[in-house]
Amino acid sequence: MQSVLDNCQDKMKKCVLSLETEYQNMRTGRANASLFDKIKVDYYGSETPLNQVASISVPEARLVVIQPWDKSILSAIEKAIQKSELGLNPNNDGKLIRVNFPALTEQRRKELAKSAKATAENARVAIRNVRRDALEALKKMQKASEISEDQQKDGEAKIQKMTDNAISDVAKVAEAKEKEIMEI
pLDDT in tens, 25-35: 776 667 777 77
Does 73 score more than 80 pLDDT? Answer: yes
**Residue 164 corresponds to which amino acid?**
D
Does 87 score more than 80 pLDDT? Answer: no
Q: What is the SS3 assignment for 1?
A: coil
SS (H, E, C) 126-163: HHHHHHHHHHHHHHHHHHCCCCCHHHHHHHHHHHHHHH
With bands split at pLDDT 50, 70 and 90, how would you rate the model's confidence at 168?
Answer: very high
- The alpha-carbon radius of gyration of the chain (Å, integer) is 22
How confident is the prediction for the chain on average, in pLDDT?
88
Higher pLDDT, 8 or 37: 8
Given this model, what pLDDT does residue 179 score?
A: 86
pTM of the predicted structure, to 2 decimals: 0.71
Q: How far apart are CA 29 and CA 121, in angstroms?
A: 23
Given this model, what pLDDT does residue 184 score?
A: 59
Decide: 175 and 119 in contact? Cβ < 8 Å: no
DSSP string, 29-91: SS--GGGGTT-EEEETTEEEEGGGTEEEEEEETTEEEEEESSGGGHHHHHHHHHHSTT---EE
Q: Which domains does the chain have, with CATH numbers?
A: 1-26+105-182 (1.10.132.20), 33-100 (3.30.1360.40)
Element housing 98 (H / E):
strand 97-100
With bands split at pLDDT 50, 70 and 90, how would you rate the model's confidence at 101?
Answer: confident
Start-to-end CA span in the chain (Å): 49
